[in-house]
Amino acid sequence: MLLWTSGQGRACTFARRVMTSDELRELLDGVRAGAVGVSEAAVRLGRASVAELSFATLDLDRRQRCGFPEVVFAEGKTVEWLEGAVRRLVEAGQDCYATRVSAEQSAHLAAHFPLAELDRLARTFWLPQPTERPAPVGRVVVVTAGTSDLPVAQEALVTARVMGAAVDLVVDVGVAGLHRILRQRERLTTADVVIVVAGMDGALPSVVGGLVDCPVIACPTSIGYGAAFGGVAALLTMLNSCSAGVCVVNIDAGFKAGYVAARFVKRLQTPSARG
């Protein structure tokens, strides 16, 4: 077991680090040679898949299963909890991405992880491993109906980018002036996925869905006056879209929109393992 002490002096124990490829091969060789029993190997593999902190259980196997490490949702966490989760992921040799990072959390993380990228508009934290990264793939275009939708749009954009997708941003082209979105048609039609972020009446995804032949991910925001009900009006409009290529994520869920979009384009660019 490893021991880590928080900034407030609290000791936290957690499972050993995730196995490297060499360690896994050594374990399997031991099983084949009869030096390690099957039950013992299963226990050792189970320990390697999670990190048990006193305040969280981190999934260290998610990159292998899903293609991207576990993402830390920072909202509601103390700065010590957040720092501890980041340190454990780094020790496991994994990239670390956190969303909904507050100003206080951002300042704390910046002091302890000076090489990280912090985006205050998107409220994100990104600390990749210091290895050469592949070139971005595909093309995700993020579109906002208004300037007020930019924080959610930026969260979607940063998320898609850190997951390895090439991204582009089109700002303030809502339905109150349709000529604005029509001027961007060439940029839209070359996209593999379009994310449309809109509050108020939430009508823009339907318009975009009628202009492109790729999936459109609609992301409602909580921007709007009283009858917008904190984004519920935009959500319902998007769920009732008459454009068949539109799917919808939750209110202000820029992370979810960016994550799904990146998965789409990465699968398009990668031959299926199924052959």
- The beta strand positions in the chain, using DSSP E, are 2-5, 11-14, 50-52, 57-59, 72-73, 96-99, 117-119, 124-127, 137-144, 165-170, 193-198, 216-220, 246-248
pLDDT of the residue at 18: 52
CA 129 vs CA 31, 48, 203: distances in Å: 31, 19, 40
% of the chain at pLDDT higher than 90: 64
Give phi and psi for 157, each to the nearest 5: -65, -50
Residues 122, 194, single domain; the answer is no
Cα separation of 178 and 199, whole Å?
Answer: 16
CB 207 within 8 A of CB 183: no
Would you say residue 271 has pLDDT above 80? no
Among 70, 103, 127, residue at a domain's last position: 127
Would you say residue 14 has pLDDT above 50? no
Tens digits of residue pLDDT in 27-46: 788 888 888 787 667 656 65
Residues 39, 148, single domain; the answer is no
Instruction: Name the residue type at position 63.
Output: R
Would you say residue 155 has pLDDT above 70? yes
Tens digits of residue pLDDT in 215-243: 999 999 999 999 999 999 999 999 999 99
First-to-last alpha carbon distance for the chain, in angstroms, is 41
Nearest to 187 by CA among 159, 162, 166, 203: 166
Could you identify the residue written with the tokens 């921007």? 223
Residues 147, 205, single domain; the answer is yes
% of the chain at pLDDT higher than 70: 86
Nearest to 254 by CA among 160, 167, 125, 182: 160
Cα separation of 14 and 2, whole Å?
Answer: 6
Among 62, 92, 127, residue at a domain's last position: 127
Q: Is residue 274 part of a domain?
A: no
The domain containing residue 241 runs over which residues? 137-269
Among 73, 104, 127, residue at a domain's last position: 127
Looking at the structure of the chain, the number of domains it has is 2
Residues 123, 141, single domain; the answer is no
Residues 71, 114, single domain; the answer is yes
